[in-house]
Amino acid sequence: MKLFDLLARFVRTKAYAARTHVGGTQNRRRLTVPPAARAQDQPVSSTKDPVDTEQHPADPNFPKLEVVKDPELMREVFQRHLQPLDGKTYQVLDCRIHYIHYRRAARCVVQYTLRIAEPETGREWSQWVSGVWYANGRTRRIWEKLRRTESEQRGVSNSSPVFAPFSYLPNLDMLMQVFPYDHRFPALRLLMSGPPPDLEPLLLARFGTGDWRAKAWNVEPVRYRVDMRAALRLTVRARDTLTGRVERRRFYAKIYRKEEEGERTYRVLRALCNKVSGGEAGFTVAKPVAYLGELRTLLQEEVTGTSLLGILRWEEDEAIQAMRKAARAVASLHLCDDVVAPRHRSLQDEVSAVEGVGKLLQQACPQLGPEIEEAVGAVVAGLEEVPPAPIHGDLKPAHVIVDGDSVALIDLDKFAMADPVVDVANLLFLLPSGSSQHHLPHGRVAQAFVEEYFARVPEAWRARLPLHYAAALLKKAAYGFHRRQASGGVERVEAMVERAKDSLAGKIW
């Protein structure tokens, strides 16, 4: 029997729902929205996603688009249509838009954060609820298919202790989903119930020698974007029946939208782990436990330490030391000439990306046309084909974990072969702003990274930093303007374009 079928059958049985641990308490799932601050030992990208406030032009495929983007109107909708499973009355006190993804004439996905109250007890909690819309009548067809294939409504409803997991709202042509139900991620609601027996041996084996038995599980979301991706933290307390010793370990489950994405990352982690175990690397990575293709889920061990993002909030001298350690680790990754990434970002890919960004910026800010054209033209003219190296692909302070002298690189989903200076430019751009008078962006902290990194890589690489830093500025300006359309967006674009020109002129290096 396939693993997915085993998991689904197991979760839908009453025996699993009644399973007990220490003190006879049930294994409860956490359904509250996680705080924005990540635990320092395994940070991931913030759950606070940018909210799209752009006023989209009328789309006949989604005539109620402005309604679903109105939090107060949607609060009233949820108050009327959330279906309690226990017959009680609940109040929707507040509704906030957490995330929007809209593609004209194709689909719209909105993730809401609701504040729910139970009047009888005064209890309040936060709850994610999503609305999903597809064009051309596809929303209703998906709902009808879900209703047929998941007709055992009681079993599905176990994914939420209060409300029905999904329903269809005809007036809005909306598929409503209550977290952790997501029709694109069946693994999410299954794993939120705690690792079933099929997975327990894989995780308990990581405790080492002995006869380890799980005493308590706790599962909580650390990253979730409806219809896009999800990450869960699994904490287990286990006891060795031979010695009586009790230990706690954490694991992470990343659920992917496409099977090949998770499989690719799993292969990357295994290759890098082999490099690390051979003592040939100046960095570590999260050790993969398994990749479950049926569930599109990657299981990996926890990486202990403190994120570089957190350290940058400490005293400057401590931050500088950490930046030097990070620079050595990143340089070591870029010099792994015997590790080949499964994807390749060519010169033409980079040129096309920068030119595309230039067009977007010129459309958004036509008054800045000459300045944007000048900056884009200089970047494109200066870029050249170089020997590719393995790069992180999404290098940011939150993806660098420091533990003493050890540095781990996490979230390697975009690992690729490319110009390694792309990583450096991206990290420098994302450093928190400082008040230093140094010419380098963000002062002494960035200076420490640049000095340490370029002392360990070929000298010719440094000449490409102004180009890639300018490219990073242009990309972030376009992304930020497109995603937020916030007040002052034009001024922000203007400042970043000017900064890109300064980088190209060598004024900040």
* Digitized pLDDT (tens) for each residue of the chain, 509 residues in all: 444 343 333 333 333 333 323 333 333 333 333 333 333 334 343 334 445 545 556 788 888 889 999 999 999 999 999 999 988 999 999 999 998 988 888 999 999 999 999 999 999 999 999 999 999 999 999 999 999 887 654 444 445 679 999 999 999 999 999 999 999 998 999 899 877 778 889 999 999 999 999 999 999 999 999 988 899 999 999 999 999 999 999 999 999 999 999 999 999 999 999 988 877 789 999 999 999 998 999 999 999 999 999 999 999 999 999 999 999 999 999 999 888 888 999 999 999 999 999 999 998 889 999 999 999 999 999 999 999 999 999 999 999 999 999 999 999 999 999 999 999 999 999 987 543 334 455 588 999 999 999 999 999 999 999 999 999 999 998 876 655 444 457 888 889 999 999 999 988 88
For residues 135 and 133, give the distance between their C-alpha atoms in angstroms, rounded to a whole number.
7
What are the C-alpha distances in Å from 223 to residues 189, 229, 251, 413? 14, 8, 14, 14
For the domain made up of 306-504, the CATH class stated in words is alpha beta
For residues 411 and 397, give the distance between their C-alpha atoms in angstroms, rounded to a whole number.
11
Element (H, E) at 452: helix 443-454
Q: Indicate the SS3 state at residue 457.
A: coil
- Tell me the domain boundaries of the chain: 31-179, 200-301, 306-504
Tokens of 131: 């609305």
